Every structure is written in structure tokens, then in C-alpha cells.
Amino acid sequence: MHISETDFWNDLMHGIHGPRQGGARLIIDAEDASTGVGKTTLACAIAQMCARAFDYDLHPDDFTLSGEQYLERWREHPDAYQPSVIVLDELAGAGAGDSRRSMSNKNVNLGRSWQLMRKKRIVTITTLPHWSDADVRMRRFADYRLWALKRPIGYFRPYKVTSTFDRGDVRTESYDDIPRNRIPFPNLDRHDDPYFEAVTEKKDDLLDSEHFDADELQEDEPDPEEVERDQKKADAQRARDLGLSTREVSEVVDMSQSWVSKYTDATNPTEQPADD
């Protein structure tokens, strides 16, 4: 049975296009918290199906590894008029929603974005080794749990996330319409899928970093505008060292004379300060 023919998919699409006109939150984990069973592949496959259903232009930046990246992308996404998709891979391993970080501001902000999902019709698809690795509040906010099977690889079971009436305990309910209680998903790695490759490249960068935390890795990435400003300051100082006047330097770096005077040291001490 294809995903699009299941009650799970119909429920998901009804939540987006039906009277609720909302978003959705999907958590993908694995049987026995196994690795290599295709959690990321499943996330990429569901994301592309949703994007096609929404007529949304999926972008590699929609595939994130950290809470910081996710929240930044969440703020950039369209408002309620356009449903969209974001994948947050390795939810616990990258430090975004780990239950051990339940008091961190990043985790609080991530959970708050899920609470405000009605403001933006975003389908968030997250992956982690096991359902229990996510913060309990994020499990409560989730709409669906997709369980990737160890055997055979390339299949998953969908569950609807609910809560008890009196205590609000989180529950998962299985679907009864699925033959053999499993749904296949494609092997995107074999098909050189560009979105799967984008996530894989980001994971490789994370593994090559000095800290196995995508939030910290994101913080270490320089701001492009700051890099450009620093480059202009360095270029301006080199020009001053060559004996150019503030007016000549301002033309070289395309900035005002007062800016040149502020951020450079004059080689010639007798040179007059620039007028504003």
C-alpha cells in the first residue's frame, strides 16, 4: 500500500486542508532505537510528498540539524496562506529537543514554535533514535509518530498521538487499515536524491566538527554580513598603510570617509581627520 492511500495520510492532509487549517508535527523513531533503518530517508520522502501536496517549493535549507536552524527557518516560512515543510533531523542527537535539555531556552523556544503551529501551517518532521528521547512536552505537542522497522528495512508503522482526558498522559494509537501493519518508503540514497544528500552533507559536517552538537556548530558559523564588514575594514587598513587618503580609501571600499577614519589608523600622523 502506498502512503497516500492510507488513513494516516488522509488524517494528515485533512488537518492541513480541512476545517482546522493547521500544521502538523511528526516524530520518526526506530524499532529498538536502531541505526541505519532509514529514519532520515523516511523524513525526506514524507517531506517531498507533503511539498507536492501543498505545491510548496522545497529547499535544501528546509532540512535542518539544530533547533537554532529550525527556528530560523520556521520564522522565514510563509504564513497560514501557504502550507510548508521543515525537517529537523537527529532531534535528540543534535541537541535540539533532547529531554536532558528540558529547561534550556532553545528547547522552550522549539516547543513554543510547535504550540504556535496554527499561525503557520508548517509540517515539521523530526527524527530521533527513540520516541522517549524527546522532551515530554514535545511528545505531547506531536501529532504523529512514525516507527521505522528494523526488518524489513524500508518500512514503517504510523501512529496517531493522543492524550488522556483526565491526566493528559501521552498515548499512541495504531492504524487498522494497513496491510501487514507496515508501509513502504523509497531508498532515496540509491536514487541520489538531492534533499537526502543535503542532509547527509550537513551530518558529515557535524561529525567533522569538534563538538557533536548542531546548535553549537550553528553558533560557530560566521555571520556573512559580519564577515563582509571585517573584510572591508581589513581592505581599508591595507589601503591606508599604502598611503592612500581617507577619501581615496572610501572610494576603494565604497564607504564614507568618516567610516574609514573610524575603523582605520592613519599611516601619516599629520593627515587631517575626514569631515562627516
Could you read off the pLDDT of 51-106 as tens digits, one per residue? 999 999 999 999 998 888 888 888 889 888 899 999 998 775 444 544 444 434 55
Distance CA 266, CA 17 (A): 64
Task: Tell which wins on pLDDT, 271 or 14.
Answer: 14
Please compute, for residue 72, the number of CA atoms within 13 A of its CA located in the half-sphere on the CB side: 13
Eight-class DSSP state of 130 = -
Eight-class DSSP state of 268 = S
State phi, psi for 196 to the nearest 5 degrees.
-65, -40
Which residue from 225, 209, 229 is spatially nearest to 217, judged by alpha carbons?
209
* Full-model pTM: 0.71
pLDDT band at 156 (very low <50, low <70, confident <90, very high): very high
Task: Tell which wins on pLDDT, 207 or 89.
Answer: 89
Q: List CB contacts of 81: < 8 A, sequence separation 6 or more.
A: none
Neighbours of 152 (CB within 10 A): 9
Question: Residue 223 pLDDT > 60, yes or no?
Answer: no
Q: List CB contacts of 2: < 8 A, sequence separation 6 or more.
A: 183, 184
- CATH architecture of the domain 3-220 equals 3-Layer(aba) Sandwich (3.40)
pLDDT of residue 212: 47
Instruction: Write out the residue limits of the CATH 3.40.50 domain(s) in the chain.
Output: 3-220
Residue 123, H or E segment: strand 122-127
Task: Please say whether the beta carbons of 170 and 139 come within 8 A.
Answer: yes
Mean pLDDT, rounded, of the chain:
80
Task: Please say whether the beta carbons of 148 and 38 come within 8 A.
Answer: yes
Percent of the chain predicted with pLDDT > 70: 78
Q: List CB contacts of 112: < 8 A, sequence separation 6 or more.
A: none
- Three-state secondary-structure class, residue 259: helix
pLDDT band at 157 (very low <50, low <70, confident <90, very high): very high
Burial (Cβ within 10 Å: 0-12, 13-18, ≥19) of residue 179: exposed
Could you read off the pLDDT of 9-28 as tens digits, one per residue? 999 999 999 998 888 999 99
State the angle between helix axes of 39-54 and 194-208 in degrees (0 to 180), rounded to the nearest 10.
140
Start-to-end CA distance of the chain, whole Å, equals: 72
Percent of the chain predicted with pLDDT > 90: 34
Here the cell at position 157 is 508503522
pLDDT of residue 222: 52
pLDDT of residue 117: 62
Task: Tell which wins on pLDDT, 223 or 146.
Answer: 146
